[in-house]
Structure 1
Amino acid sequence: MNSPLQQLAIQRQVGKKPAPKRKWIWPLLAAVLLGCGIAWMQATKPKPIQTAKVTLAWPSAALSSLTATGYVVAQKKAAIASKATGRLEWLGVREGSPVVAGQLIARLENAEQEAQVAQAIANMEAAKARLKQSEADALEAERALRRSNELLAQGFISSATHDNAVSRAKQAQASVGAQSAVIRQTEAALKQARVALDSTLIRAPFAGVVLTKNANVGDVISPFNASADSKGAVVTMADMDTLEVEADVSEASLFKAKQGQPCEIQLDALPDLRLLGRVNSIVPSVDRAKATVTFKVGFVEHDVRVLPEMSAKVSFLSRQLAQPERSPRLAINPRTVQNGAVFVVRDGTAHRVDVKLGDKLGDLVEVRQGLKLDEVLVLEPTGLKDGAKVQETKA
Structure 2
Amino acid sequence: MQPRFALLLLLLASGAALAWRKEAPPAVPVAAERRPAALSPEPRPFEPPPARPGRPVPPADEFLGVILARVSSDIAPRFEGRLREVHVRLGDHLVAGQLIGTLDVPTLRFDLRRAEAELAAAEVDGSRAKIELSEAQERLRRRRALADQALASAEDLATTRYEEQVAATRLESAGAQIAARRAHVERLRNDNTDARITAPFDGIVAARYLGPGESAGPSTPIVRLISLHDPFVRFAVPEQQARAMAVGRAVRVRVAEAHLELEGTIETVAPEVDAASHHVLVEAGLGPVDPELHVLSGGVARVSLAEPP
Q: Please, what TM-score do these two structures have when normalized by structure 2?
A: 0.75
2:287 aligned with 1:292, yes or no? no
Aligned to 2:147, the other structure's residue is in SS state: helix
Q: How many residues align?
A: 248
Partner of 2:123: 128
Q: CA deviation at 1:136?
A: 0.8
C-alpha contact (below 8 Å) 1:65/1:256 kept by paired residues:
no
Structure 2 segments unaligned to the other structure (5+ residues): 1-58
Alignment partners' CA distance in 2, 1:205 and 1:300: 21
Which of 235, 238, 248 is the equivalent residue of 1:247?
Answer: 235
Alignment partners' CA distance in 1, 2:178 and 2:62: 68
The AA in structure 1 aligned to 2:274 is: D
C-alpha contact (below 8 Å) 1:134/1:179 kept by paired residues:
yes
- Could you say which structure has the higher strand fraction? 1
Which of 258, 263, 282 is the equivalent residue of 1:276?
Answer: 263
Partner of 2:296: 307
Aligned to 1:90, the other structure's residue is in SS state: strand
2:157 aligned with 1:168, yes or no? no
Q: CA deviation at 1:216?
A: 0.8
Partner of 2:77: 82
Alignment of 1:15-30 (within 5 A): none
C-alpha contact (below 8 Å) 1:208/1:239 kept by paired residues:
yes
Q: Over the residues paired in the alignment, what is the CA RMSD in angstroms?
A: 1.9
Alignment of 1:28-177 (within 5 A): 66-177=61-172
Q: CA deviation at 1:279?
A: 1.0
Deviations 1:306-349 (A, max 9, x none): 11111111111217xxxxxxxxxxxxxxxxxxxxxxxxxxxxxx
The AA in structure 1 aligned to 2:92 is: S
Deviations 1:39-74 (A, max 9, x none): xxxxxxxxxxxxxxxxxxxxxxxxx98311111101
Q: Percent identity?
A: 25
* CA 1:180–1:300: 2 relative to 1, 3 Å: closer
Deviations 1:337-372 (A, max 9, x none): xxxxxxxxxxxxxxxxxxxxxxxxxxxxxxxxxxxx
Aligned to 2:282, the other structure's residue is in SS state: strand
* CA 1:135–1:104: 2 relative to 1, 3 Å: same
Which of 205, 210, 213 is the equivalent residue of 2:208?
Answer: 213
The AA in structure 2 aligned to 1:286 is: V
C-alpha contact (below 8 Å) 2:231/2:287 kept by paired residues:
no
Partner of 1:259: 247
Q: CA deviation at 1:222?
A: 3.0
Deviations 1:240-261 (A, max 9, x none): 1121111111112112222111
C-alpha contact (below 8 Å) 1:66/1:253 kept by paired residues:
no
Aligned to 1:285, the other structure's residue is in SS state: coil
Alignment partners' CA distance in 2, 1:94 and 1:158: 82
C-alpha contact (below 8 Å) 2:100/2:198 kept by paired residues:
yes
Q: CA deviation at 1:239?
A: 1.4
C-alpha contact (below 8 Å) 1:246/1:296 kept by paired residues:
yes
Alignment partners' CA distance in 2, 1:76 and 1:297: 15
The structure 1 segments of at least 4 consecutive aligned residues displaced by more than 6 Å after TM superposition are none
C-alpha contact (below 8 Å) 1:65/1:317 kept by paired residues:
no
Q: CA deviation at 1:192?
A: 2.8
C-alpha contact (below 8 Å) 1:102/1:205 kept by paired residues:
yes
Partner of 2:306: 317
Alignment partners' CA distance in 2, 1:256 and 1:161: 95
Q: CA deviation at 1:86?
A: 1.4
Structure 1 segments unaligned to the other structure (5+ residues): 1-63, 225-231, 320-395
* CA 1:102–1:144: 2 relative to 1, 3 Å: same
Larger mean Cα displacement after TM superposition, 186-195 or 106-115: 186-195
Alignment partners' CA distance in 1, 2:192 and 2:279: 48
Alignment partners' CA distance in 1, 2:119 and 2:286: 54
C-alpha contact (below 8 Å) 2:63/2:236 kept by paired residues:
yes
Deviations 1:61-120 (A, max 9, x none): xxx983111111011111111221111111111122222223331111122112212222
Q: Please, what TM-score do these two structures have when normalized by structure 1?
A: 0.60
Q: CA deviation at 1:300?
A: 4.0
Partner of 1:237: 225
C-alpha contact (below 8 Å) 1:268/1:310 kept by paired residues:
no
